[in-house]
C-alpha cells in the first residue's frame, strides 16, 4: 500500500471554470443532459519512460517529491499519490503505476497558489459589464459554479444562501471536509465576485442567484498540490457542477491535470482559469494554458490590460481584475487585484447565459453558453482576437441580448383560403354487406349513402407587421457609445408590439445591436469605434418585423489617444529656463482636443516635476533648472477626459550659463 506524504514547493494561483475549447456541436438532449462518461482514455504519460516523466518537474535529484496518477475505477476516475525520497525512487514509483492497467496518466506533483494582489477602488466592474441590464434577463438561477480555491466562508452574510455542499482535498485523494473554511480569504473573495447576493448590503456578485460549490484545494498560505486540484475537479463534476472556476496556476504542465480537465469538458462542464500574474514576459500558466480551458486575462477600469496580467496565444477572453472589491473573511470586504479576480467574472457570466438558455432548453450545457459568450465579447486591442485580450472583454449583456433576440423571419406568401378544422368534411366509408356471424343475427342490408355536409371555407386575415418606428435620433453618449431614441410606430400591426431591435453600423466596422422591451424608447449602444460616423436605425417586432426606420447619424466620441511628440520642433528656448514641446498633428479622437499638458521629470531623484498646460499643440514648460537632465512627455484632453501620457518622450538638458 502506498504511503502519502505532502511535498513543499512553490506554485502559482489560477482560476478554472467550465470551458469549451472548440465549442460544442448541437445541444444536449433536454431530458438526459450530457452522457455519463465514467472512464478516461490512457494519456501519453502512461507509455513514456519513467525518467522522462520525472524530469518534467525540475527538482534536485536528491529532493523528495510526490508521484500522482489518475486511475479508472468502478465509480469513475480517482486520484492517487505516492511519495518518493528522490528522483530514482520517483522513477521506480512511476514505472509501478504505469504497469497498473487502471492507470490512465501519471506525473510528478507540483504546487499552485492564489493569484491576487491588494489594490484600492470600488465595484466598478459591475458598471463596466452592464450588469443592471443583464439582470433583467438573467441572474444565474440554478447554475452551480465550483470555486476550486482556498475554501469559502459559507457563513458570510453575502454568501450564506448561495453556498452548496463542497469538498476539501489537502493531501488526500478523498474529501475530508465541505470546503466551507477559508483561512486565506482568496476563495471567499472569488466566490463573492461570482455570486454575492443582491440585497443592497456589502457587495453584489455578477450572477447573484447562482450557487457556489466550494472545493478547497489550497491551504491557508494559498498553496496546494496539483493532485488535490485534479481531485477537486473530478469531485465537482461528479457532484453536479456546471462550471469549474480556478483562480490558481503554475508554470508547468501535467498530464494528470489535462486528464481531469478532459473529464470535465467531456461532460459539458466549462472550465475557466486565470491567465497568470507574471506580466508581459511571463510563461504560460497552467491550467489556463491547457486546451479546452478558458484562460482569462485581467483589465483595469479603463479597459487596458493589467501590467501584471500574462499574455499569449492561450488567452481566450478578458475581464475586470484590477482593484476589485469583494467578500472576505471574516464577514467583511476587501480590495484585491489579479487574474484571480478576472476569472470569476467570466465564470459568473457563463452562469448568467446558461440559466437563460435553460429556460427554453433544459439540457443546455455550460460549454454552449461559453460559445455564445465568446462570440459576443467586446473587442479590445487589435481588431479580432489578440494575445492580450483574446476575443475581448466579457460582455454578458450582449450574449443575453443575442440569445433573447427573436429570429429574423423571411417573407412568406400569404395563405389563401383556410379550412377550419371544425368544418373539415370527413369522408364516409363505402357501404358493404357483412355476413352474419350466427343464424340468429338479423340479415344485414346495404346502408344508404348519406349526403356529406356542406363545408364553408373562410379566408383568415394574414398576420400584419407593424410600421417602422418614427423620429429616430442618435447622439454620442459617453465614451465609444451612442444613445438611440425613437417613437412608437403609427401602426402596431395585427398584434401588440413585443420588442424593438436597434442597430448602429459604420463602413468597415462591426455592427452593434440591442433589443429593448416594448415599453422602452431608447437604448445605449456600446463598443463602437471612436471617430467613426455611425448610422443607427430601429425596427419593431410583434411576431413579424417591421421595415427598418430611416437612419439617424452621429459621430462616436472618446477621450483622445496619446499624442506623439515632434522631436524636430521640441527644444529649449535659448537663454531661458524653458522648453517648447510640440505635438505632431494627427487625427485626434472626436470630440476636438481642448487642452494639452506636458510634464518634465528630473532623471535623478533630486528636484521636482515641472508641468505646464496650453490650448494649442505647442506647450511651453518653464522653471527648469540649468544643467539638470529631464524626461518630458505630453498628454491631451477633450470634454470626455484626458489621454494617457505619450509613449515616447524627449530628453533635455538646459545649458549652464
Reference 616, options 569, 573, 579, 581; nearest CA is: 581
- Helix ranges (H only) for 140-240 are 186-195, 226-238
Q: What is the rounded distance in angstroms from the CA atom of residue 328 to the CA atom of residue 198?
A: 16
What mean pLDDT value characterizes the chain?
82
Higher pLDDT, 34 or 472: 472
Express as a percent the part of the chain with pLDDT over 90: 50
Kindly report each contact of residues 430-437 with a partner whose C-beta sits within 8 Å and lies 24 or more positions away, as own/partner.
Answer: none
For the chain, the structural domain boundaries read: 117-404, 470-555, 567-653
Q: What is the rounded distance in angstroms from the CA atom of residue 138 to the CA atom of residue 92?
A: 53
Q: What is the rounded distance in angstroms from the CA atom of residue 41 to the CA atom of residue 39?
A: 7
User: Does the annotation count 186 as an active-site position?
Assistant: yes
Instruction: Tell me the per-residue pLDDT of 257-295, one tens digit each, with 9 for 90 and over.
Output: 989 999 999 999 999 999 999 998 888 899 999 988 999
Instruction: Tell me the per-residue pLDDT of 125-163, one tens digit each, with 9 for 90 and over.
Output: 999 999 989 999 999 999 999 999 999 999 998 897 899
- Helix ranges (H only) for 118-225 are 124-128, 131-134, 186-195
Determine which of 20-24, 316-320, 349-353, 516-520 has the lowest per-residue pLDDT on average.
20-24
CATH number assigned to the domain with residue range 117-404, chosen from the 4 options 3.40.50.720, 3.40.50.620, 3.40.50.1980, 3.40.50.200 = 3.40.50.200
* Contacts (Cβ under 8 Å, ≥6 apart) of 521: 485, 486, 487, 488
Q: How do the residues of the chain divide into helix, strand and coil, expressed in percent and rounded to 5?
A: 15, 30, 55
CATH topology of domain 567-653: Immunoglobulin-like (2.60.40)
Q: pLDDT band at 7, cuts 50/70/90?
A: very low
Cross-strand partners of 67: 82, 108
Reference 357, options 24, 70, 15, 8; nearest CA is: 24
Asked whether residue 40 carries a pLDDT value surpassing 60, the answer given is yes
DSSP reduced 3-state for 335: strand
User: Does the annotation count 467 as an active-site position?
Assistant: no
Q: What is the rounded distance in angstroms from the CA atom of residue 88 to the CA atom of residue 320?
A: 46
Instruction: Identify the CATH class of 470-555.
Output: mainly beta
On whether the CB atoms of residues 388 and 406 are closer than 8 A, the answer is no
Q: What is the rounded distance in angstroms from the CA atom of residue 221 to the CA atom of residue 179?
A: 15
Instruction: Tell me the per-residue pLDDT of 57-87, one tens digit each, with 9 for 90 and over.
Output: 877 788 889 999 999 998 889 999 999 999 9
Q: Where are the beta strands (DSSP E) in 416-519?
A: 470-476, 481-487, 499-505, 512-517
Q: Could you check whether 470-555 and 567-653 share the same CATH topology?
A: yes
Express as a percent the part of the chain with pLDDT over 70: 83
Q: What is the rounded distance in angstroms from the CA atom of residue 232 to the CA atom of residue 174?
A: 9
How far out from the chain centre does Cα 475 lie?
Answer: 29
Q: What is the rounded distance in angstroms from the CA atom of residue 172 to the CA atom of residue 128?
A: 41
Q: What is the rounded distance in angstroms from the CA atom of residue 405 to the CA atom of residue 190?
A: 31
Asked whether residue 176 carries a pLDDT value surpassing 80, the answer given is yes
Instruction: Tell me the per-residue pLDDT of 630-642, one tens digit each, with 9 for 90 and over.
Output: 899 999 988 888 8
Burial 222-239 (b: 16+ CB within 10 A, else e): bbbbbbbbbbbbbbbbbb
Given the residues 19, 83, 186, 546, select the one marked as catalytic: 186
pTM of this structure: 0.56
How far out from the chain centre does Cα 581 lie?
Answer: 43
Q: What is the rounded distance in angstroms from the CA atom of residue 229 to the CA atom of residue 218?
A: 8
pLDDT at 106: 96
Phi-psi region of 318 (alpha: psi -120 to 50; beta: other; left: phi over 0): beta
Higher pLDDT, 6 or 562: 562
pLDDT at 462: 57
Q: What is the rounded distance in angstroms from the CA atom of residue 389 to the CA atom of residue 298?
A: 8
pLDDT at 573: 84
Reference 579, options 644, 623, 617, 645; nearest CA is: 623
pLDDT at 605: 64
User: Does the annotation count 149 as an active-site position?
Assistant: yes
Q: What is the rounded distance in angstroms from the CA atom of residue 319 to the CA atom of residue 303?
A: 9
Asked whether residue 370 carries a pLDDT value surpassing 90, the answer given is yes
Q: pLDDT band at 529, cuts 50/70/90?
A: confident
Given the residues 83, 173, 337, 340, select the one marked as catalytic: 340
Given the residues 149, 182, 228, 558, select the one marked as catalytic: 149
Mean pLDDT of 479-506: 87
Amino acid at each position: 500500500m502506498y504511503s502519502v506524504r505532502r511535498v513543499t514547493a512553490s506554485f502559482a494561483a489560477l482560476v478554472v471554470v467550465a470551458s469549451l475549447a472548440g465549442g460544442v456541436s448541437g445541444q444536449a438532449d433536454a431530458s438526459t443532459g450530457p452522457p455519463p462518461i465514467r472512464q478516461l482514455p490512457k494519456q501519453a504519460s502512461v507509455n513514456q519512460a519513467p525518467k522522462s516523466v520525472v524530469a518534467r518537474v525540475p527538482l534536485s535529484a536528491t529532493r523528495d517529491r510526490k508521484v500522482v496518477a489518475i486511475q479508472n475505477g468502478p465509480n469513475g476516475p480517482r486520484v492517487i499519490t505516492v511519495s518518493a525520497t528522490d528522483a530514482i525512487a520517483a522513477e521506480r514509483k512511476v514505472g509501478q503505476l504505469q504497469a497498473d492497467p487502471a492507470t490512465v496518466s501519471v506525473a510528478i506533483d507540483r504546487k499552485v497558489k492564489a493569484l491576487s494582489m491588494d489594490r484600492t477602488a470600488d465595484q466598478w466592474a459591475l458598471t463596466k459589464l452592464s450588469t443592471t441590464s443583464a439582470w433583467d434577463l438573467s441572474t444565474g438561477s440554478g447554475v452551480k459554479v465550483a470555486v476550486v480555491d482556498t475554501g469559502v466562508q459559507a457563513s458570510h452574510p453575502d454568501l450564506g444562501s448561495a453556498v452548496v455542499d463542497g469538498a476539501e482535498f489537502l493531501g488526500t485523494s478523498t474529501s475530508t471536509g465541505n470546503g466551507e473554511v477559508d483561512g486565506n480569504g482568496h476563495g471567499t473573495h472569488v466566490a463573492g465576485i461570482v455570486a454575492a447576493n443582491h440585497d443592497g448590503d456589502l457587495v453584489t456578485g455578477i450572477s447573484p442567484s447562482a450557487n457556489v460549490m466550494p472545493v478547497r484545494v489550497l491551504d491557508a498560505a494559498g498553496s496546494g498540490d496539483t493532485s488535490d486540484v485534479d481531485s477537486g475537479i473530478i469531485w465537482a463534476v461528479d457532484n453536479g457542477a456546471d462550471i469549474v472556476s480556478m483562480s490558481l496556476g503554475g508554470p508547468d504542465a501535467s498530464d494528470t491535470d489535462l486528464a481531469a480537465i478532459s473529464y470535465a469538458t467531456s461532460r459539458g462542464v466549462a472550465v475557466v482559469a486565470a491567465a497568470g500574474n507574471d506580466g508581459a514576459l511571463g510563461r504560460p500558466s497552467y491550467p489556463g494554458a491547457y486546451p479546452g480551458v478558458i484562460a482569462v486575462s485581467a483589465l483595469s477600469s479603463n479597459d487596458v490590460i493589467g501590467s501584471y496580467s500574462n499574455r499569449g496565444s492561450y488567452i481566450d477572453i478578458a475581464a475586470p481584475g484590477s482593484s476589485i472589491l469583494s467578500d472576505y473573511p471574516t464577514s467583511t470586504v476587501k480590495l484585491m487585484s489579479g487574474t484571480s479576480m478576472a476569472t470569476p467574472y467570466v465564470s459568473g457570466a457563463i452562469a448568467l447565459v446558461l440559466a437563460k438558455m435553460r429556460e427554453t432548453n433544459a439540457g443546455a450545457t455550460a460549454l454552449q453558453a461559453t460559445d455564445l459568450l465568446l462570440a459576443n465579447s467586446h473587442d479590445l486591442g487589435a481588431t479580432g482576437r489578440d494575445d492580450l485580450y483574446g476575443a475581448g472583454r466579457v460582455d454578458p449583456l450582449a450574449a443575453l441580448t443575442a440569445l433573447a433576440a427573436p429570429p429574423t423571419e423571411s417573407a412568406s406568401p400569404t395563405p389563401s383560403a383556410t379550412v377550419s378544422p371544425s368544418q373539415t368534411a370527413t369522408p364516409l366509408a363505402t357501404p358493404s354487406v357483412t355476413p352474419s356471424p350466427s343464424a340468429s343475427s338479423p340479415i344485414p342490408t346495404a346502408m344508404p349513402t348519406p349526403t356529406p355536409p356542406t363545408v364553408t371555407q373562410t379566408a383568415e386575415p394574414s398576420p400584419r407587421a407593424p410600421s417602422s418606428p418614427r423620429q429616430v435620433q442618435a447622439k454620442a453618449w459617453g465614451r465609444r457609445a451612442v444613445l438611440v431614441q425613437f417613437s412608437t410606430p403609427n401602426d402596431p400591426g395585427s398584434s401588440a408590439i413585443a420588442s424593438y431591435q436597434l442597430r448602429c453600423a459604420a463602413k468597415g466596422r462591426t455592427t452593434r445591436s440591442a433589443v429593448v422591451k416594448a415599453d422602452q424608447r431608447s437604448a445605449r449602444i456600446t463598443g463602437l469605434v471612436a471617430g467613426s460616423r455611425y448610422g443607427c436605425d430601429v425596427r419593431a417586432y410583434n411576431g413579424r418585423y417591421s421595415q427598418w426606420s430611416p437612419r439617424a447619424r452621429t459621430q462616436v466620441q472618446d477621450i483622445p489617444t496619446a499624442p506623439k511628440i515632434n522631436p524636430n520642433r521640441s527644444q529649449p528656448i535659448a537663454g531661458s529656463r524653458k522648453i517648447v514641446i510640440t505635438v505632431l498633428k494627427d487625427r485626434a479622437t472626436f470630440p476636438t482636443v481642448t487642452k494639452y499638458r506636458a510634464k518634465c521629470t528630473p532623471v535623478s531623484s533630486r528636484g521636482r516635476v515641472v508641468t505646464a498646460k496650453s490650448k494649442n499643440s505647442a506647450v511651453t514648460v518653464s522653471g527648469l533648472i540649468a544643467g539638470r537632465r529631464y524626461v518630458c512627455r505630453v498628454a491631451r484632453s477633450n470634454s470626455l477626459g484626458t489621454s494617457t501620457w505619450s509613449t515616447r518622450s524627449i530628453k533635455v538638458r538646459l545649458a549652464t550659463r
